[in-house]
Amino acid sequence: MSRKSTGYSLSEEAYNKIKNALCQGELKPGTVLSENSLAKEYSMSRTPVREAIHRLVQEGWLEVQSGVGTYVKQLSPKDIADLFEVRRLLESQAARTAVFEITNEEIDDFERRFKALCENMLDGESDEQRFFDLDWAFHSLIISRCHNRYIRSIMETNNQNLRTYQRLSVDTLNNIRESTERHLLLLDLIRKRDPDALSEAIIEHIEWAAGLIPSSDGN
């Protein structure tokens, strides 16, 4: 079936690929984008790539500077702080009802996967991408199981930005093991069905994660 018959355009494909690269940290802040290189990489002409880039500029992911070109927007410390504040407030509230909706089987599964990461690190292995995906899946589960549809809607609207900044916090981790152990603590509180303790622990965890991201002045 062709892209045209499914309503899926080349520009949409280019947009999704570039945005995914941004969210996964493959295109880092300050990186200058080349239409020719991206078109070659995606096996398409420059036109859909140009349209995708224009859309991402409008959405604030990319910036255009005369004499430089189009580059990945540098992350604003205030934007990061604002998004982490939203996440802290909403996820801690979401946890109060989600704690009763997450099953023991799901808790067991996440515990097994986080412990496996710890074991791999003891063996000298380090897989940031695997940790990032598991980290994102865990926090997404909390949001998806909460009873407040407005919290779910707000978080979904900001998912891509939150995913980008969460990726940045993972990239700056010096010790993935410490974060893994923090997630195991959160899972234990979910198993105990303790909404107050879980909410407080999530606030502390998110503030800790936000503190990992360096400010633009290097502090």
pTM score: 0.75
CA trace torsion 18, 22, 24, 29 (10° rounding) = 150
Q: Are 87 and 203 in contact (CB under 8 A)?
A: no
Looking at the domain 7-72, which fold is it?
Answer: Arc Repressor Mutant, subunit A (1.10.10)
CATH node for 77-211: 1.20.120.530
Region of 34 on the Ramachandran plot (φ > 0 left; ψ -120 to 50 alpha; else beta): beta
Between CA 176 and CA 45 the distance in angstroms is 40
Smallest CA-to-CA distance from 143 within 92, 103, 193, 188 is with: 92
- The answer to whether 67 touches 23, Cβ cutoff 8 Å, is no
Instruction: Decide: helix, strand or coil at residue 2.
Output: coil
pLDDT per residue, tens digit, the chain (219 aa), is: 445 433 458 999 999 999 888 877 788 888 999 999 999 999 999 999 999 999 999 988 899 998 889 999 877 788 888 888 999 999 999 999 999 999 999 999 999 999 998 887 666 566 788 888 999 999 999 999 999 999 999 998 888 778 877 777 777 666 688 889 999 999 999 999 999 999 999 999 999 988 887 654 444
**Annotated domain spans of the chain:** 7-72, 77-211
